[in-house]
Amino acid sequence: MLDRVKDRGLVLLGCGKMGSAMLEGWLAQGVPPASVHVIEPYPSDWLKSTGVHLNEPLPAAPAIVLLAVKPQMMGAALPQVVALGGGDTLFLSIAAGTTIASFEETFGATTPIIRAMPNTPAAVGRGISAITGNPRATEADLQLAEALLSAVGQVVRLEGEHQMDAVTAVSGSGPAYVFHLIEALAAAGEAEGLPAELAMQLARATVCGAGELAQQSPETASQLRINVTSPGGTTAAALAVLMDAETGFPPLLRRAVKAAADRGRELGK
């Protein structure tokens, strides 16, 4: 699928943290820098050193345009690529809360459009992206999107755009929940008498290690939890608090994820 990019070119609109992570992955996969055109008003020194076409005239019909600008900047940025709509150039957006319908209004309903939701672990090649397309997006388009997004992690397909707000709330915003867990766990360690630096080291390593174990183990998360919980032991005492049906993690995370999903729906209106 990447031969399509090599032959016709790729346009990256916006090259911040997520765009840079993706570009680094594409170049590592063998996409020639000469096939990549980047529009970025504030390029980093790293971007300038990659050999890509930077803020230069765009190809007439690139294989794909990846929209990697923040939603609030979309209105100002899209006019730079609007002339590429209406043909078989695929538009792939990673902007949260911006619907396919809004892009169809800009580029035309005949334009193939795919909406994706990646997350920040893409910066270390451990992200996960969910994708869904409009009726004009072909199987080949979806495969191309998967090939490009897989440079920074896993890719899953959704049943439709109606699932995107839930995905945003779980995996898009989810890394922030985990980072806050690290903060809270370290603070709890301090409250029990640990020095701040040591508490943070223990919390960070514990969460990262448990995540890697969950990733590599064939067992479910529930079973992994059971494996480290001795009846009547210290872990069981803590889990009695964390798993409380009214005040524990489950109802708290349901409320948090719902709040994020509701906000995503508001942004999409």
Q: Does some domain include residue 241?
A: yes
- Mark whether 125 and 156 lie in a shared domain: yes
Kindly tell me if the per-residue pLDDT of 143 is higher than 80.
yes
Q: So what's the pLDDT on residue 1? A: 64
Given a contact cutoff of 8 angstroms between Cβ atoms, the answer to whether 141 and 90 are in contact is yes
Residue 267 CA to residue 269 CA, distance in Å, equals 6
Is 264 marked as a binding-site residue?
no
- Mark whether 10 and 137 lie in a shared domain: yes
Report angle CA 134, 137, 143 to the nearest 5 degrees.
Answer: 125
Domain span at residue 247?
A: 174-267
Residue 138 CA to residue 133 CA, distance in Å, equals 8
The model carries a pTM of 0.88
- Mark whether 157 and 204 lie in a shared domain: no
Give the pLDDT confidence of 38-62 residue by residue, as tens digits. 999 999 999 999 999 999 999 999 9
Strand partners, 87: none
- Mark whether 255 and 146 lie in a shared domain: no
Is 172 marked as a binding-site residue?
no
Is 18 marked as a binding-site residue?
yes
Strand partners, 117: 130
- Mark whether 121 and 246 lie in a shared domain: no
Radius of gyration of the chain (CA): 21
- Mark whether 259 and 148 lie in a shared domain: no
Give the pLDDT confidence of 83-95 residue by residue, as tens digits. 999 999 999 999 8
- Mark whether 137 and 241 lie in a shared domain: no
Is 16 marked as a binding-site residue?
yes
Question: How many domains is the chain built from?
Answer: 2
Is 23 marked as a binding-site residue?
no
